[in-house]
Amino acid sequence: MIRVRAPGRVNLIGDHTDYTGGLVLPMAIDRWTVIEGERVDDVVELTSEAEDAPLRLDLPVSDAAMVEPAWGRFVAGVAAELGDDAQAMRGRVTTSIPIGAGLSSSAALEVAAALALGFEGTPTALAELCRRAEHRASGVPCGIMDQLCIAAGVAGHGLLINCTTLSIDSVRIPDEVAVVVQFVDHRRLDGSEYSTRVEECAAAEAIIGPLRMATPDLVEKIKDPVLRRRARHVITENQRVRDFASALSSGAYVTAGHLMLRSHASLRDDFETSTPTMDAAVAAMAAIPGVYGARMTGGGFGGCVVALAELGTRTPGWQVRAVDGARRMET
């Protein structure tokens, strides 16, 4: 019997910083994708509770991006990355992670698939393989945050990840605060705007060098106003991640909440990955007494709002718990 599970994730702060090797602070949440089944010869056959069409993949897989049904591309990308190490199986996928909501349902599927198809290695190696699988499957040049958080989550903690060294410091989520997630809107754009932002950051780095090492005054050297704004978001967001980690650890929740609000404003004004609907949801959440702060979380253009609140505050959405990363389960 094979039985594995991988959690979803919510990012507390540090968005659009991972692909320039910056800082992020996500946590794995108590929603999971589970794959169960048995070993067979040469073929991967999976049904999914959330999808109509089953997946049938002949091993080895070469072109993951062409696989039908489309949900199977994430599994195919993983199988392609595993190459000769991919072990065949027949089974089913179930999930409690809302799909397409910005809580990394696709990264959870990749990480679960890698474990189900026989991956052996460290959480970091697992995350790197799954990130490459995502690139193959969707063509979206994502960073490492989602896969690494899902692979390496620590119960009760957020993960302060340095996306250059991939070092992880766990940051305790104090018992007296609640992390709340509210689903607001399905993401409307495919990867194209995301890819554009990745390119814009690369263009800014060609002018002022690595954004993760830059100071805010350096952005004045960038003539193009759009690139200047993109760079300013990334540089200031990296600093906000550091400040947020310190604020959370020292019980300065009001400060932590302000940092989340400033992060959202930066995503809205400088990085332009928010939408009026998301802005309104953040404002409404932040106006609730007991809420320290809120922001859009993840890739943007829809998805979820994450909030930090005093425990017991009545808010829309649901309180999430920080959980351990993906693993094989006893069968």
Instruction: Give whichever of 36 and 128 is closer to ligand GLA, judged by the CB atom.
Output: 128
Measured from the CB of residue 138, what is the shortest distance to ligand GLA in angstroms? Answer: 10
298, 302, 317, 325: which one contacts ligand GLA (CB under 6 A)? Answer: 298
Measured from the CB of residue 69, what is the shortest distance to ligand GLA in angstroms? Answer: 21
Judge whether 204 and 15 are in contact, CB under 8 Å.
Answer: no
Instruction: Give whichever of 140 and 213 is closer to ligand GLA, judged by the CB atom.
Output: 140
Closest CA to 109 of 77, 65, 155: 77
Measured from the CB of residue 306, what is the shortest distance to ligand GLA in angstroms? Answer: 12
Which string of x and - marks every residue 136-175 that binds ligand GLA (by CB under 6 A)? ------xx-xx-----------------------------
Active site (annotated) includes residue 175: no
Instruction: Give whichever of 158 and 299 is closer to ligand GLA, judged by the CB atom.
Output: 299
Rounded CA gap, 41 and 37, in Å? 13
Task: Note whether 271 binds ligand GLA by CB under 6 A.
Answer: no
Measured from the CB of residue 175, what is the shortest distance to ligand GLA in angstroms? Answer: 27
Query: Please, which of residues 57-86 interact with ligand GLA by CB under 6 A?
Result: none
Query: Please, which of residues 86-145 interact with ligand GLA by CB under 6 A?
Result: 142-143, 145
Rg of the chain in Å (alpha carbons): 19
Q: At which residue do the structure tokens 């495919």 appear?
A: 190
Rounded CA gap, 130 and 119, in Å? 10
Closest CA to 254 of 266, 241, 244, 242: 244
Task: Spot the catalytic one: 15, 30, 85, 146.
Answer: 146
Judge whether 222 and 231 are in contact, CB under 8 Å.
Answer: yes
Q: Around Cβ 222, how many Cβ atoms within 10 Å?
A: 18
Instruction: Give whichever of 16 and 264 is closer to ligand GLA, judged by the CB atom.
Output: 16
299, 302, 317, 325: which one contacts ligand GLA (CB under 6 A)? Answer: 299
Measured from the CB of residue 68, what is the shortest distance to ligand GLA in angstroms? Answer: 23
Instruction: Give whichever of 45 and 193 is closer to ligand GLA, judged by the CB atom.
Output: 193
Rounded CA gap, 31 and 321, in Å? 9
Closest CA to 208 of 232, 184, 190, 189: 232
Instruction: Give whichever of 61 and 161 is closer to ligand GLA, judged by the CB atom.
Output: 161
Instruction: Tell whether the torsion through CA atoms of 318, 17, 25 and 147 is positive or negative.
Output: positive
Instruction: Kindly give the residue spans of alpha helices, DSSP state H, lying in the chain.
Output: 72-82, 105-116, 123-138, 145-152, 192-208, 225-249, 253-269, 276-286
**SS3 of the chain: helix, strand, coil, percent, to 5:** 40, 25, 35
Q: DSSP secondary-structure letter at 285?
A: H
| Pairing of β 291-297 and β 318-320 | unpaired
β-sheet bridge partners, residue 1? none
Query: Please, which of residues 16-35 interact with ligand GLA by CB under 6 A?
Result: 16, 18-19
Measured from the CB of residue 331, what is the shortest distance to ligand GLA in angstroms? Answer: 31
Measured from the CB of residue 276, what is the shortest distance to ligand GLA in angstroms? Answer: 20
Question: Token pair for residue 95?
Answer: 């999930």
Judge whether 110 and 74 are in contact, CB under 8 Å.
Answer: yes
Instruction: Give whichever of 11 and 315 is closer to ligand GLA, judged by the CB atom.
Output: 11
Contacts with ligand GLA by CB under 6 A lie at 15-16, 18-19, 142-143, 145-146, 298-299
Query: Which residues are catalytic, by number?
Result: 146
